Amino acid sequence: MVFFVRAGYRQSPGLTTLFWLGDQLVSWDRHDGLKTAVTGLLSSGMSGFSFNHSDIGGYTTISHPLRNYHRSKELLLRWIELNAFTTVFRSHEGNRPLVNAQVYSDAETLAHFSRFARVYRAWGFYRKQLMQEAAATGMPVVRHLFLHYPDDPAVYNISYEQFLVGSELLIVPVLDPGQDTVTVYLPQGRWVHVWSGTTYGSDNHATRVTIAAPLGQPGVFYRCGSQVGMTFVAHLEEAGCL
């Protein structure tokens, strides 16, 4: 049995199996929306909450003469992409389903959800490893870059823009409406872009690159030579996701 909670205290990670990040607004906001989900994953992971996730698409919907928060299709599609690289891939209709875009609203959205469910499954072998590591050491599944690159001062300027899954996968989600590129900070070393197979970066220094990130292709990289990365790509190909 798996149950999950959204509140706790310092000993909660030893008393329950899973957490979720509460009820974000159905928005792109950095105070209580999509961006907040990344911030929450990173900060809670550093606090010992190794297994955490958000509702795909957010939850809190507001209809008000002064301000509406209704989930758009684009927000839902991008949140689907984000959560495919967290511990749990779980959708939610929100507190007012009829005014929110849903995974079943149209064929395109349902196909997108199906594809990223397969993406989520494709790194399942690595997720199991990371969950075993978390149980043994407390290391989070989703990690801030400074955990693996503490001597790189530039990573301390990153808040929600990108994150690591374990040490081998680097994720740069699209977090703003109308955005079709992402700028990624690549720590020293060479990194392979999953969707194109192109290698970026340098063995001598960190680099920053801007790449295309249309719907269906958030920024996803793996460390060059990583067996985890190569296995992930092989699984994506088998699942028809590349």
Domains and CATH numbers, the chain: 4-122 (3.20.20.80), 138-238 (2.60.40.1180)
Distances (CA, A) of 164 to 60, 155, 168, 186, 220: 27, 12, 7, 11, 10
- Can you give the pLDDT at residue 124? 98
- Can you give the pLDDT at residue 19? 87
Tell me the pLDDT of the chain (242 aa) as tens digits.
777 787 888 888 888 888 888 899 999 999 999 999 999 999 999 988 898 999 999 999 999 998 899 999 999 999 999 999 999 999 999 999 999 999 999 999 999 999 999 999 999 999 999 999 999 999 999 999 999 999 999 999 999 999 999 999 999 999 999 999 999 999 999 999 999 999 999 999 999 999 999 999 999 999 999 999 999 999 999 999 99
- Can you give the pLDDT at residue 231? 98
- Can you give the pLDDT at residue 159? 95
Cα separation, 73 vs 7, in Å, equals 29
* β-pair partners for 209: 184
- Can you give the pLDDT at residue 187? 97
Long-range CB pairs of 181-184, under 8 A, 24+ apart, other chains included: 181/210, 181/211, 181/212, 181/213, 182/210, 182/211, 182/213, 182/218, 182/219, 183/208, 183/209, 183/210, 184/208, 184/209, 184/210, 184/211, 184/219, 184/221
- Can you give the pLDDT at residue 148? 97
Q: Is the pTM of this model over 0.85?
A: yes
- Can you give the pLDDT at residue 14? 82
- Can you give the pLDDT at residue 2? 76
Long-range CB pairs of 145-151, under 8 A, 24+ apart, other chains included: 145/185, 145/187, 148/187, 149/187, 149/188
